[in-house]
Amino acid sequence: MATSRRDFVKTAALGASLASAARPTPAQTSPSDTINIGVVGFRGRGRAHYRTFAKIPGVRVAYLCDVDERLFPEAVAEVEAIGGYRPQTEHDIRELLKRPDLDAISVATPDHWHALMTIWGCQAGKDVYVEKPCSYTLWEGRQMVRAARKYNRIVQVGLNRRSRPGTRSAVAYLRSGGFGSVYRSKAIVYRGRIDIGKVQEAGIPEGVHWDLYLGPARYRAFTMNRFHYGWHFFKDTSTHEVGNNGVHYLDVARWAMNKNEHPVRIHCAGGQFVEDSDSEVPNTQVGTFEYEDGTLSEIDATTLFSPTFGGTRMGNFFYTDQGYLSSVDGWKTTRGDFTPGERSEMEGGISMRTTNLSFPKQQYPDGPEIPQLDEPEVSHFQNFIDCVRSRKREDLHCEIEEGHLSTSLCHLANISFFTRRKLVFDPATESFPGDAEANGYLKREYREPYVVPEQV
């Protein structure tokens, strides 16, 4: 299906019109006013967006936007039941952003749309809540940061474990040095998925705007496997399981280790095992990230059946000079205590007991309790709304710069997986020195007119 000239002209003109409109709306200049928000994409995670925002005092889910118009009746009725008002609907994000009464958008679309919608939102003077992973490529993430800064927008990334009280307390404890110095972290993501099988091409359902759904990605014929949740299984729209669920745990690892920079060496191996389906992405990946100071961060991710690791299928582990800290059954510490063992040896016909360094006695007693932070519990969505009102981006639990650094770990792992080798990365330039093949994965080719601009 060719993109129509009407759509091309509409998008080409959008950048200029949004940039000229990049100024706070009346609702943003007066904290006492209602904040009108538009939820974009609500077949899956987006339902939690509109349900939660509709319950927050002073917030109105004024608009629902999705390329599948068949979803509107149920979602509209649900918002009306929660909030007592009826939201308007729109299938095209470009039209939504022209609404003068819209203060913010909440993006829960597939990964390949996150960056462009966020940048368009910033250009239109709207604040943005964008789901994880914040971008489809590493370069896109940097463009999102630039747009947020240029237009002075509040941009929160949906890495919502940063708003969980237990996680916040554990991270604060680790960063304080309360349980020693962290030298290594490990993220476990064993999240089972059903094999999607193989399906034939089909006609585009009535009410589905397929060209708009694909947006920046290459055009592909419609199949149910590529639509709705199925987009996770295709290269043009997915960041693999490390971007889908792994990013949550890589984010906690980076945050707790206080790494405000990219790693310098990355290696990731994996593949697609067992399955015989339309899926184009690996179902198993194991990655290692090495920082300039030598500390390590690891991820072990699979969507296949697997045993638990330390009693968990999804969680974080941090190794220190005093023991380890994990999120299994709630955050807790465990001390490590090795003492030399003994062994029997014969010397000159006499039996002697000597120190056995190879097999020491190992004890793992419970470590100290993690002090709980004395702060109010605030949801990730509420934190975003609070900052929309205050205009203090430094108070966001996961501001776009933080989201970009964590999401970049997923991109770096995937690039190593694509190239099948260990990579050296320059954090300052966000590129691979002298490595044309790896650098080729930092950006993507866009389908007109859905292009992430070089100049935001």
Note the pLDDT tens digit of each residue in 99-149: 999 999 999 999 999 999 999 999 999 999 999 999 999 999 999 999 999
- Could you give the residue ranges of the DSSP H alpha helices within 151-238? 165-175, 210-214
pLDDT confidence of residue 353: 58
pLDDT for residue 193: 87
Q: Write down the pLDDT at residue 4.
A: 42
Report the sign of the C-alpha dihedral through residues 311, 170, 333, 241, in that order.
Answer: positive
* pLDDT tens readout for residues 30-83: 445 899 999 999 998 999 999 999 999 999 999 999 999 999 999 999 999 999
Q: Which pLDDT band holds residue 365 (cuts at 50, 70, 90)?
A: confident
Predicted confidence at residue 31, as pLDDT, reads 43
Q: Which bin fits 152, alpha (ψ -120 to 50), beta or left (φ > 0)?
A: left
By the 8 A CB rule, do 355 and 362 touch? no
* Average pLDDT taken over every residue of the chain: 91
Residues 6+ apart with CB under 8 A from 67: 91, 208, 209, 210, 212, 213
pLDDT band of residue 325 (cuts 50, 70, 90) is very high
Cβ contact 62:165 at 8 Å: no
pLDDT value at 6 more than 90: no
Fold category of 5-162+379-399 in CATH: Rossmann fold (3.40.50)
pLDDT of amino acid 194: 86
Single-letter amino acid code for the residue at 176? S
Residue 247's identity, in one-letter code, is V
pLDDT over 90 (residue 359): no
Residue 12: predicted pLDDT: 45
Token pair listed for 45: 């995670």
Task: Cite the residue boundaries of each domain of the chain with CATH code 3.40.50.720.
Answer: 5-162+379-399
The share of the chain scoring above pLDDT 90, in percent, equals 82
Amino acid at 280: E
* pLDDT, tens only, 73-98: 999 999 999 999 999 999 999 999 99
- pLDDT band at residue 363 under the 50/70/90 scheme: confident
